[in-house]
Amino acid sequence: MEDQEKINDPGKSKDSQALDTLTKELEEIKKTNIEYLDQLKRLQADFENYRKRVEKEFEEIKQQGKINIIYELLQIIDNFELAFNNEQSESEFKKGIELIYAQLKELLNNNQVSEFESLGQIFDPNFHQAIMSANDPEKNNNEIIEVFQKGYKINDQILRHAKVKVNKIDDCMSKEQDKSEEK
């Protein structure tokens, strides 16, 4: 009787086939979605592991850099202790301290740390910290006339601003100086 129904109702057979086809397509899409979701989860896990590994490597590199600098500083401390423990004349002691100072400067230089010139320069807040001012008509306005503490930079980044005394000429005197310079 079922065969008879199929023969009598050819539209039902087409609908059934279309439904079967759509069901199969839906199952394939679901399967593909599950595969994509699984791939996404694996990628997320891989990325998280990568991020943690890079972070750990960065910390290890940073730590190794510290160890290298500290090792060099320990050698300099050894030289200080040697100088303090040896009985020597004042001039020999001074010479030893100068050698240690040269070692420290070399350590800084080897790590791209350098001091920058400030005396006689025009005050720049990017490089200098004014801790005093003076009023010297013989010097230019904002000229650095004394350095209390040198400034240092590593490559182009400021490590420490130079602490300086800046010449500040009163406005009246500054205008007179400008007029005399124009003549």
pLDDT tens across 11-29, in order?
Answer: 568 888 999 999 999 999 9
pTM: 0.60
- Mean pLDDT, rounded, for 51-56: 97
- Whole-number Å distance between alpha carbons of 79 and 150: 24
User: In the prediction, which pLDDT does 103 show?
Assistant: 93
State how beta strands 128-134 and 162-167 pair: parallel
Q: Could you give the C-alpha distances from 126 to 123, 161, 165, 174, in angstroms and in order? A: 9, 8, 15, 23
Domain ranges in the chain with CATH number 3.90.20 = 1-111
pLDDT tens across 83-108, in order?
Answer: 888 887 888 888 889 999 999 999 99
Tokens at 157, concatenated:
């980044």
CATH 3.90.20 fits 1-111, yes or no: yes
CATH architecture of 115-183: Roll (2.30)
Residue 51 near residue 44 (C-beta atoms within 8 A): no
Domain ranges in the chain with CATH number 2.30.22.10 = 115-183
- Whole-number Å distance between alpha carbons of 89 and 97: 12
Phi and psi torsions of 52, nearest 5°: -65, -40
At residue 146 the predicted structure's pLDDT band, cuts being 50, 70 and 90, is very high
Q: Which of 37-46, 75-84, 113-122 shows the lowest per-residue confidence on average (mean pLDDT)?
A: 75-84
